[in-house]
Amino acid sequence: MNTNVSVIPEFLAGGGEMGARIREYDWAATPLGPVDTWPQSLRTCIRIMLTSRQPIWIGWGKELIKFYNDPYKAIVGGKHPWALGSPASVVWKDIWKDIEPMLRQVMQEDEGTYVESQLLIMERNGYAEETYYTFSYTPIPGDDGGTAGMICANVDNTDRIISERQLKTLTQLGKRLAGLQASRDVIQQTIYTLEENPQDFPFALFYTVSDNRATLVNATELGDAAPQVPAEIDLDGPGLGALLQRAALLRQPQILEGLEAIMGAMPMGSWTIRPTKAVILPIVSATVKEPYGFLVAGFNPYRLPDEKYMGFCSLIMDQIMSGFADVHLLEEERKRTAALAEIDRAKTAFFSNISHEFRTPLTLLLGPIEEALQNPAIDTDLKAQLDIAYRNALRMQKLVNTLLEFSRIEAERVDGKFTRVDICRLTVDLASTFRSAVEKAGMALNIECSYTEAEVYVDVEMWEKIVLNLLSNAFKYTNQGHIDVRVQVADEQVLLSVTDTGIGIAADQLNKIFDRFHRVENIQGRSQEGTGIGLAMVKELVKIHKGNISVSSHPGAGSTFTVVIPTGKAHLEDGRIEENDPDTIISKQADAFLQEALKWLPEAPQYEAATNDASDPALYKVLLADDNADMREYVQRLLAHQFRVITAVNGEDAFSKMLQYKPDLLLSDIMMPKLDGFGLLQQVRNHPDTRHIPVIFLSARAGEESKVEGLDAGADDYLVKPFSARELLARVEANIKIAKSRIAAENNVRNMIMQSPIPMVLLRGDTFSIEIVNEKALELWGRDHENAINKPLLEVLPELDKQGFGQILHEVYTSGVPYHGNEIPLELMRFGKPEQLYLNFIYTPLRDAHNVVTGIIAVGVDVSEQVIARRAVEQNEQELTELANAMPQLVWVAGPKGETVYINNRLSQFAGERNLQYGDGYWGWVALTHPQDLAPTETAWQKAIATGSVFQFEHRMLMKDGSYRWHLSRGIPQKDDNGQTLKWFGTTTDIHTAREYAALLEQEVKNRTHELQELNIALQRSNEDLQQFAHVASHDLKEPVRKIKTFSNRLQYEYGDLLPEKGKTFLDKVQRATERIFSMIEGVLSYSTLNAAEQEIEKVDLNKTLADIEEDLEVSIQQKRARIVRSELPVVEGASILIYQLFYNLINNSLKFARTDELPVIHITCSTLQEGGQDYVEVAITDNGIGFEQEYAKRIFDTFTRLNAKDKFEGTGLGLALCKKIVERHHGSITATGIRDEGAVFTILLPLIQIQRPFKADSNGSNENLFTNR
Amino acid sequence: MAVTRTFLLIDDDTDDRELFAEVLAAVDPVITCKQAIDGEEAFRKLQKGTEQPDIIFLDINLPVMNGWQFLRKIKTADGLKDIPVIMYSTSSDQNDKETANVLGASCFLTKPNSYKDLKGLMEAIVAAARQNNPATAICKAIASYRRSQ
């Protein structure tokens, strides 16, 4: 051994650049001395350091001579490489005073220490970067036991520190921007928050935009830089303006490079260098095109604007934008509220004005009526009418007064005049006025008041309204039971409650009941009349008393309204109290409430008009339905002279009277208790007995909309209150006349249908209810009248719908277009049996006076017999034609004079177009016959016609392809009893083949030879195509399979732990199956490549080939703990890739099929031999694997042959086939012998020299295609 | 120290592109992965571009201009021919590997079959990308990774 060459000690091996530097360093010149004198602990530490991927440095000896590894180079930065071997105090001169105490602690006290997340500006990736490291100093004992050095390991915390900092900024921003009221605040808070993160945002400027100019409105502390910052930026301008514009358009942050050139030296934030870039964040609303503003923020000089940083900026931008959006929403809301309040005021003013306008004419109405009524000479009949007028004028006055009062309260112009009252007496007196009405309705009124001397102040008029409204309300919505009024004084409060046993209020209506104009829909009160402001006013009145009102209710069981007001007068303004009037008198308003309530009671008999001449049968009957007695009386009086009037008090009553009296017209109010006008109309229209009765609606609901609603619902006419007597009479009369003529018309239709000799039916409505049906139709259907009339057609004949008739009916009904059906097959269940019919039918839409389709008239004729008979004939003809067409000959029929009357479709085989015109008795055979044969043929035919004898002749005819073919024509005459020819039946048969058989045969042989040659070429081409296909297909197959593998592997890798056991098994199965497909494709690929590719012949050293294979199979060899023993092998000629594949497959095969109970051993031996003047090498590969039965020795080389279950042994079934192919390509051979469970021997014979060179892919002769069946 | 900042991946398969970029980002967030879906697009961008990629990963089967055409083109283009190209294809065909070699690709990386492999390979690639001659280092790293499997 040469002593001059120093041996590299093992602990210094590897370690990249630093490993090399440490090895090359002249340590003898340092206090550490030569390497071989180094203590064991230093060696161990250096070994650890060099192999670690974590940045580590070691200081050794008193001076802490520095060692470090490759990852540490970034930390030591510019001091690399001289820092190696230098004392720590020199290397870290700049921070020595910070770290020296720590190092001393380590070295002298043998105690470790560490520094967490130290900021280090490092150039790790080619730029100065903000990084954070946590590092620890650990003492290392020397061989003598004392501390001889230290080791320092560093951990990179950069990502964590930066992420935490950014998260904090985002969280703060989110918190601060929430719920702000003004845009100014959003900007202020944004700037304030960004100022707290001077690392990422050294400065921040906020610009708002108007008229395409951005104006600086807020900024972080700018110091000296303040004057440089542009106060305004023109967005249409170049440079910065264009960049802002771009940011706004893209709605994405933009980077401003070269900051210093544009704005000068900007604040540094927490750094010691200035930012060179800024980020521009556009603040753009999702809906408005012009940006609200821009945030321009300085960029951290120690970071790149990478995805992470930009992502962070985008989040900041989103936060600010949502802050603005919130503020915007708030402002919109404020504006809306103001607008609503304005509308409200306008409405109240309107009510106030309109009510005043009403009062004047009302007063002028009431005065004269009162006077007239007081005239003793007045006639009774007239008095009754005047009474009605008076009562209703009073009612109207009350409504107007209520409205006026209410609008005054709303406008806050009512303050009340409060006097001290005996609240008990006042309330009891008021409530008692309702007693008569309540008892008349068969209910009880209980009034309860504990006598009290409490000091209670109320505005008497208002209190009256409160009590009367509540009572009136209770009475209106209570049909039976009792109403309880109770007054209590307790805890310095007066408590008034009104409880009823009425219909109650649904829970969802409770909180709306005190709203103005709110009316609970569809409830069964005594009346539908009302203004909808009673309870709202009560609420306001209670409020003026500084009290409150509440309601509780159980639908169906009753409601309780409770009013609470304070006692005493402390809560009232002094100026509103009038002490001097302790006595109160119940005012006139109680009477108005009572009068109204009484009218809600059923039929006051005194108003039943005596003029009702309901018994005259000659008059038309009109049913009048209205819940208002006065209205009933008025209308009845108007109609009584011309009509017989029947009255009903609500919808239900009306309907039962409709059925009872069958009136000629119904005149109905819309708003009625129990069943309203629309409900009544629907019932009337749905009942066959009342369907045709005309209906006129009467309603106070004016306006086009309700009119349309009424007519849409099916009313014939609509009268709006108030109406004149003349108008009413005219409309009633007209509608009755129209109805009568309609009924007459319908009767005509009925008669026509009933008497029709063909089946006819009238279907009404979209249910196709059978309104009229005649006997013929019932007969056709096989149904009787009783089971059909007034029932939907599709119920009576359910089989129709299934056969598509239902849909036709619906189409006719909705489109209004008639439908004609011809010979439509129909299967009917007639008298319980299915029967096939054919129908001709027409569905005609039936329209009413408004041209709306209301039904369908169906007329049908049973044409089954005709159809069946005709079909039989048609079928017969069809069969004959088919028979004729099935014959290989031309079949023809000719008339007695030889004119053709029929010819089968073999005619298409012949030439020309003339022959198609056989309809006129001439199909052109003359033109088709060979000129040489024409004359004799015609002679023979004419002769046959003349003699009536059988015609037979051979002649050539022109075929479609232009050739002449020999034909035998033969015709037989059909004769009548007199022997006269009626028809000729004939055939023309192609006998060309027979005639020209010999010539043909000869030609055939020639053709066949030619065809075979072509086939051969085609085969060759197709073979190449197939190979190309296999190659391409395998490539394309590989793509998706590789993806399945990748993603299933990823699934296992990332989510494997989450899967249940079963899931893991499934995934495992997927992966194994995919693995197999993949290997299979690989196999197919190499197999097909083998055929296609042209391979260069070269010298192949089998020793090297096998060495390569062993290296490539290293993993598998190690796994199976296999041993390969090989003798020296020769150099052969061949394609190196193929030879490699050959041995690779064989050895891989041996490894794959190894026995589990024995370690695999593969012997490779060889010998050379001579055969046919050529040198061969014989290579034997012997293994001790599972072997195979000898009978399979040949088959195992076939493609896709597998001897073993695929779940036990992997394999594609292509490996050995490939081997065989490769060997044969090299003009060698391969054989296999095996013994089951003992092993196999594969023997390859290869020529040492390839004589044909270069050898090519298989030529057509020896080509074995992958896809050829064998 | 030579720093590899940018890879360009030319591949028309969206899954493969995403997977490559995703795994790269997970392994090393500093290296950016630019992407192109065919040779023509890539070549156009490279001709225009100022920030050239440090290494190109190139698929073979590409629309418009396939990998071979692209390779031929870039290897004769002034200013671009020195950008190392690593083939990145599903193929494991020996012929393809030879073609790549002849046309001047640095090496041939058959797309890995499993996510784990891809991750392992990417780790090796990224580590090698930091070295002085990144393309050579990456090719070596790929080869040694393959051997270790």
DSSP string computed for A511-558 = TTTTSTT---SS---S-S---S-HHHHHHHHHHHTT-EEEEEEETTTE
Is residue A73 within 8 angstroms of chain B, CB to CB?
A: yes
Q: What are the φ and ψ backbone dihedral angles of A139, each rounded to 5 degrees?
A: -70, 145
- Contact at CB, A1111 and B147, closer than 8 angstroms: yes
Task: Read off the pLDDT of residues A284-312 as tens digits, 9 standing for 90 and up.
Answer: 877 677 788 899 999 999 888 888 888 89
Domains (ranges, CATH) in chain A? 10-156 (3.30.450.20), 161-338 (3.30.450.40), 415-600 (3.30.565.10), 605-742 (3.40.50.2300), 756-868 (3.30.450.20), 887-986 (3.30.450.20), 1095-1247 (3.30.565.10)
Buried b (16+ CB within 10 A) or exposed e, A871-882: eeeeeeeeeeee
Res. A728 pLDDT band, cuts 50 70 90: confident
| Least confidently predicted of A255-264, A383-392, A1249-1258, B10-19 | A1249-1258
- Contact at CB, B95 and A1089, closer than 8 angstroms: yes
- Contact at CB, A1078 and B113, closer than 8 angstroms: yes
CA nearest to B91 within chain A: A1035
User: Mean pLDDT score of chain A, rounded to an integer?
Assistant: 80
**Res A120 pLDDT > 80:** no
**Structure confidence at residue A206 (pLDDT):** 93
Res. A587 pLDDT band, cuts 50 70 90: low
**Structure confidence at residue A1263 (pLDDT):** 36
**Structure confidence at residue A1082 (pLDDT):** 74
Closest Cβ opposite residue B15 in set A307, A1043, A1054:
A1043
Q: How many CB atoms lie within 10 A of CB A1241?
A: 16
**Structure confidence at residue A1039 (pLDDT):** 77
**Mean pLDDT computed over B41-51:** 84
Closest Cβ opposite residue A1053 in set B3, B112, B116:
B116
**Structure confidence at residue A564 (pLDDT):** 92
CA nearest to A1034 within chain B: B91
Strand blocks (E) in A1102-1173: 1123-1126, 1131-1134, 1161-1171
- CATH, domain B6-148, list 3.30.1780.10, 3.40.50.1100, 3.40.50.2300, 3.20.20.100: 3.40.50.2300
Which of A249, A247, A201 lies closest to A221, judged by CA? A201
- When mean pLDDT is compared over A1166-1170, A1180-1184, B15-19, the highest value belongs to A1180-1184
Closest Cβ opposite residue B90 in set A308, A1038, A1111:
A1038
**Structure confidence at residue A604 (pLDDT):** 45
- Contact at CB, B61 and A1082, closer than 8 angstroms: no
Q: Are β-strands A456-458 and A419-421 bridged in parallel, bridged antiparallel, or unpaired? A: antiparallel
- Contact at CB, B115 and A73, closer than 8 angstroms: no
Q: Which residue has the higher pLDDT, A510 or A517?
A: A510
CB A1084 within 8 A of CB A1199: no
Compute the nearest-CA separation of A321 from chain B (Å).
29
All residues of chain B having their beta carbon less than 8 Å from the beta carbon of residue A306 are 29-30, 32
Res. A4 pLDDT band, cuts 50 70 90: very low
**Structure confidence at residue A518 (pLDDT):** 64
**Structure confidence at residue A581 (pLDDT):** 56
Q: Which residues contact A545 (CB under 8 A, 6 or more apart)?
A: A416, A458, A459, A462, A463, A565, A566
Handedness of CA A232, A238, A240, A243 (dihedral sign): positive
Task: Read off the pLDDT of residues A56-92 as tens digits, 9 standing for 90 and up.
Answer: 999 998 888 999 998 888 787 778 888 898 898 888 8
Is residue B44 within 8 angstroms of chain A, CB to CB?
A: no
Query: How far is the C-alpha of A1018 from the C-alpha of A296, rounded, in Å?
Result: 74
Res. A1164 pLDDT band, cuts 50 70 90: very high
- In angstroms, the Cα distances linking A408 to A339, A404, A1180, B81 are 21, 6, 119, 93
All residues of chain A having their beta carbon less than 8 Å from the beta carbon of residue B115 are 1046-1047, 1049-1050, 1053-1054
- Contact at CB, A126 and B1, closer than 8 angstroms: yes
**Structure confidence at residue A1258 (pLDDT):** 40
Compute the nearest-CA separation of B113 from chain A (Å).
5
- When mean pLDDT is compared over A161-170, A897-906, A989-998, the highest value belongs to A161-170
Q: What is the ipTM of this complex?
A: 0.71
Task: Read off the pLDDT of residues B124-137 as tens digits, 9 standing for 90 and up.
Answer: 888 888 887 888 88
**Mean pLDDT computed over A399-423:** 76
All residues of chain B having their beta carbon less than 8 Å from the beta carbon of residue A1042 are 90, 111, 113
Is residue B114 within 8 angstroms of chain A, CB to CB?
A: yes
**Structure confidence at residue A706 (pLDDT):** 56
Res. A278 pLDDT band, cuts 50 70 90: very high
Tell which of B1, B66, B96, B110 to mutate to test the A interface (max A CBs under 10 Å): B1
**Mean pLDDT computed over A1048-1071:** 81
3-state secondary structure of A147: strand
**Mean pLDDT computed over A452-476:** 85
**Structure confidence at residue A1031 (pLDDT):** 66
**Res A1012 pLDDT > 80:** no
- Contact at CB, A1046 and B115, closer than 8 angstroms: yes
Is residue A1039 within 8 angstroms of chain B, CB to CB?
A: yes
- Contact at CB, B90 and A306, closer than 8 angstroms: no
Q: Which residue has the higher pLDDT, A1087 or A792?
A: A792
Buried b (16+ CB within 10 A) or exposed e, A372-406: eeeeeeeeeeeeeebebbbbbbbbbbbbbbbbbbb
Is residue B116 within 8 angstroms of chain A, CB to CB?
A: yes
All residues of chain B having their beta carbon less than 8 Å from the beta carbon of residue A1053 are 114-116, 119
| Least confidently predicted of A1-10, A411-420, A480-489, A885-894 | A1-10
Tell which of B17, B113, B132 to mutate to test the A interface (max A CBs under 10 Å): B113
Compute the nearest-CA separation of A1237 from chain B (Å).
30
Chain B window 66-95: which residues touch A at a Cβ cutoff of 8 Å? 90-95
